[in-house]
Amino acid sequence: PVVLGIETSCDETGVGIVRGNTLLANIISSSMDEHARFGGVVPEIAARAHLEALKPTLDQALAKANLSLKDIDAIAVTNGPGLGGALMVGIGAAKALSVAIEKPIYAVNHLVGHVGVDVLERGELQTPTVALLVSGGHTSLLLVRDLINDVELLGETIDDAAGEAFDKVARVLRLKYPGGPEIDKAAIGGDPKAIRFPRGLSLPKDMEKHRYDFSFSGLKTAVARWVEVAETKDEPINVADIAASFREAVADVLVTKAVNACLDHKVPRLLLGGGVVANKRLRELAQERCDAHGIELRIPALSLCTDNGAMIAALGAQLIMAGRAPSSLHFGSDSTLPVTTVQTL
């Protein structure tokens, strides 16, 4: 089936088109720049930006796929998790389209979309797989036995998301927003062993209840404290060392827990997703540790890792191919939609 996917859960307005497992178009418009001076995504601004960007993004996607609306067999849309108002813009547009072209609609889970995107590069999803999703809004470790029938949440962050930690620490270091790429740049030439920053929820006592959970707020505070102490003592601040050491702490804890999940569940695969996957050290360390344990590491192209409509279209196509009934027109947005709800009827 030819499926058009709409994604508006955060600051990316994404429209993607797939035919089965084949990617036809993936157009993304981001309101990132408009949030820069606030140091994080402002929900109201994001929602308004979606409203303005949706139509042009849709037109571009159709043009890129060389299709018109009458060629679309179904619409898929993210209905959660994400920012309520932002989600509603995409949902409203998707419902209107579905009614206008008289085609079924599928309300799908954003996080499962990040996992399912793999089919666009490799055909069928290889299962079981562990998936580590790391972005500005999420840090989740999933055990996927079957993309549409069996996705289990192993753990998640109990405070800040990984990307959020990058953004907040960048602010402490007086770097620009978004913080991830800035910290990657600042870390060049820095010594990752210069400062031993804390690895959240990694002590033996955490292993029972929080083996697969993450915590980054302590790390953020530790960096802020480090800078503060240096400043009161009038000592020079080595930004490269701090950035490299902070990045090392994040990458270490993410990869350690993801690899543990693979080993504990005897799963020989690890799939990464989310904007933080752009991080150089995370990619390097994940490859190193996966190689050491004979785990196959899958990192989708960056344009498919960050939020996009193609992953939503791909998940819609998977549901259709599995014979799932479409959603009704009555679903709403659910900012805390659990990962176990792949489709909302």
One-letter amino acid of 77: V
Cβ–Cβ < 8 Å for 275, 136:
yes
Rounded to the nearest whole angstrom, what is the least distance from the CB of residue 82 to ligand ATP in the complex? 5
Of residues 170-199, which lie at the interface with ligand ATP (CB under 6 A)? Answer: 178-181, 184
Binding window for Fe ion (CB under 5 A); candidates: 131-139, 218-226, 297-305, 325-333: 131-139
Distance CA 36, CA 33 (A): 5
Q: Is the peptide bond before 128 cis (omega within 30 degrees of 0)?
A: yes
Rounded to the nearest whole angstrom, what is the least distance from the CB of residue 20 to ligand ATP in the complex? 25
Q: Which of 11, 118, 164, 182 binds Mg ion (CB under 5 A)?
A: 11
166 binds ligand ATP (CB under 6 A): yes
Q: Is there a binding annotation on residue 180?
A: yes
Q: Is there a binding annotation on residue 279?
A: yes
Q: Is there a binding annotation on residue 213?
A: no
- For residue 100, what are the β-bridge partners? none
Rounded to the nearest whole angstrom, what is the least distance from the CB of residue 212 to ligand ATP in the complex? 18
- For residue 299, what are the β-bridge partners? none
11 vs 307, beta carbon nearer Fe ion: 307
Find all residues with CB under 8 Å of 169, minimum gap 6, and list them.
179, 183, 219, 220, 223, 224, 246
307 binds Fe ion (CB under 5 A): yes
Distance CA 123, CA 12 (A): 25
137 binds ligand ATP (CB under 6 A): yes
DSSP per-residue string spanning 227-246: HHHHHHTTPPP-HHHHHHHH
Q: Which of 9, 79, 245, 327 binds ligand ATP (CB under 6 A)?
A: 9
Nearest residue (beta carbon) to Mg ion = 11
Q: Is there a binding annotation on residue 265?
A: no
Q: Order of strands across the sheet with 139-146?
A: 150-156, 139-146, 129-134, 269-273, 296-298
Distance CA 22, CA 289 (A): 31
157 binds ligand ATP (CB under 6 A): no
Task: Return the SS3 of 36.
Answer: helix
Rounded to the nearest whole angstrom, what is the least distance from the CB of residue 200 to Mg ion in the complex? 23
Distance CA 49, CA 175 (A): 25
Find all residues with CB under 8 Å of 327, minimum gap 6, and list them.
104, 105, 106, 107, 343, 344, 345
135 vs 327, beta carbon nearer Fe ion: 135
Q: Is there a binding annotation on residue 62?
A: no
Binding window for Fe ion (CB under 5 A); candidates: 51-59, 88-96, 133-141, 262-270: 133-141
Cβ–Cβ < 8 Å for 160, 220:
yes
Q: Is there a binding annotation on residue 241?
A: no
135 binds Fe ion (CB under 5 A): yes
Of residues 264-293, which lie at the interface with ligand ATP (CB under 6 A)? Answer: 274-276, 278-279
Note the residues at the interface with ligand ATP (CB under 6 A). 9-12, 82, 135-138, 163-164, 166-167, 178-181, 184, 274-276, 278-279, 306-307
Note the residues at the interface with Mg ion (CB under 5 A). 10-12
Annotated binding site for Fe cation: 110, 114, 307
Annotated binding site: 110, 114, 133-137, 167, 180, 184, 279, 307
